[in-house]
Amino acid sequence: MTTPAPTVVPVDLADRSYDILIGPGLLAAAGDELARRFPGSRYAVITDETVAERHLDTVAASLTEAGLGFASIVVSPGEGSKSFETLESVVDGVLSARLERGDLLIALGGGVIGDLVGFAAGVVRRGMRFVQMPTTLLSQVDSSVGGKTGINTRHGKNLVGLFHQPALVMADTAALDTLDPRHLRAGYAEVVKYGLIDDAEFFDWLDANRAEIFAGGPARIGAIAASCRAKAEVVRIDETEQGPRALLNLGHTFGHAFETACDYDAERLVHGEAVAIGMALAHRFSARLNLVSPDDAARVAAHLSAAGLPTKISDIPGGVGSVDDLMRAIFQDKKVKRGRLTFILTRGVGEAFVADDVVPEQVRDFLEEELAG
């Protein structure tokens, strides 16, 4: 099978630079690509049971055909695998396979696998290289790029981890054909985020091309490539989130509070849905603070809604508890400085900014209104 030439998005980070390859058929072509880029290396392909069923044979056949040695490690699906226990089993599997420091781990799957494997790669033998092979839209446009890795603890999400950039990202867009529609929609929320942060033209393009993006084909690849370019640029200027990278958290402070309130129960709410509600709220909150016009806030909510995404707290099945619960989660999620909160707010579509002086009472009043509405 011939694979069309992928779109290549470079991530420019001096000696940690790497390419993001985007296109259909990349998993089936993985062996040749890896053999060319990392001659003489061996691999551990790490994935979860659900992704293994869909894609592990394809990757394994491709590696075998290219004459590459590899071990496979399969963990349980779901957020629960971002744990010390699963990390230990992955590390043990990598060491049992006798991978050396110059060898590579492959993260085949969604955000959970990417974060877990990236972290394992960062700590095994004091740092191994790894390849991201994201198989969900969310991981293709966000979590596989930029080197944030980590696991969860009982104190909260992603509280143990490190910045460890991958050596290569291979985003096989054909993998999205087997992704369930709910997860495709959820990943789309992170695509919209890039337009809302600083690219009104991209948001307009999404408005005009939403149906084509969901249908697949060139528009979808274009949306993924534009998202990766946007993320690569933010990561280039602020790899370790000292400043502007925080813009990528648009919608996430509210969103994480809802995920916490739902106990990270994916039946009720998945990350991208929480971000969609969070982004709609960030715009309405900005409107309440007279930073943005209510029309812009309504336009953003209408776009997300038309994509089948939730935009209101009442869209979350089972409710999210009281305003006190939400405020507690917000205080835990974000750094509080002298009693003020940091939020990503906006002055318009494509004009997001970091506001580090948000008064908690204003957030509380706003959430009370949203809960009532």
Q: Which residues are catalytic?
A: 126, 148, 190, 231, 241, 245, 249, 252, 256, 271
Closest-CA residue to 18 (of 147, 210, 200, 190): 147
Please identify, among the stretches 61-69, 128-136, 141-149, 212-220, the one whose residues bind ligand GLY according to the rule CB under 6 A: 141-149
Please identify the residue of the shown chain whose CB is closest to the bound ligand GLY: 248
The yes or no reply on residue 193 touching ligand GLY (CB under 6 A) is no
How far apart, in whole angstroms, are the C-alpha atoms of residue 189 and residue 110?
15
Is residue 22 helix, strand or coil?
Answer: strand
Q: Does 334 bind ligand GLY (CB under 6 A)?
A: no
| DSSP string computed for 164-204 | ---SEEEEEGGGGGGS-HHHHHHHHHHHHHHHHHH-HHHHH
Q: How far is the CB of 353 from ligand GLY (least distance, A)?
A: 16
CB of 243 to ligand GLY, least distance (A): 12
Interaction between residue 248 and ligand GLY (CB under 6 A): yes
Q: What is the H or E stretch that residue 295 is in? A: helix 294-306
CA distance 197 to 352: 5
CA–CA distance, 282 with 343 (Å, rounded to integer): 8
115 is an interface residue for ligand GLY by CB under 6 A: no
Tokens of 16: 């940690």
* Number of residues forming the site for ligand GLY (CB under 6 A): 5
Q: Is 30 a binder of ligand GLY (CB under 6 A)?
A: no
Shortest distance, position 114 Cβ to ligand GLY, whole Å: 11
For residue 142, state whether it binds ligand GLY (rule: CB under 6 A).
Answer: yes
Q: Is 146 in the site for ligand GLY (CB under 6 A)?
A: yes
Q: Which of 202, 193, 191 shows the shortest CA–CA distance to 282?
A: 193
Please pick, from the candidates 129, 245, 256, 288, the single residue that binds ligand GLY as defined by CB under 6 A: 245
Whole-angstrom distance, CA of residue 90 vs CA of residue 92: 5
**Is residue 161 involved in binding ligand GLY (CB under 6 A)?**
no
Query: Site residues (CB under 6 A) for ligand GLY?
Result: 142, 146, 148, 245, 248
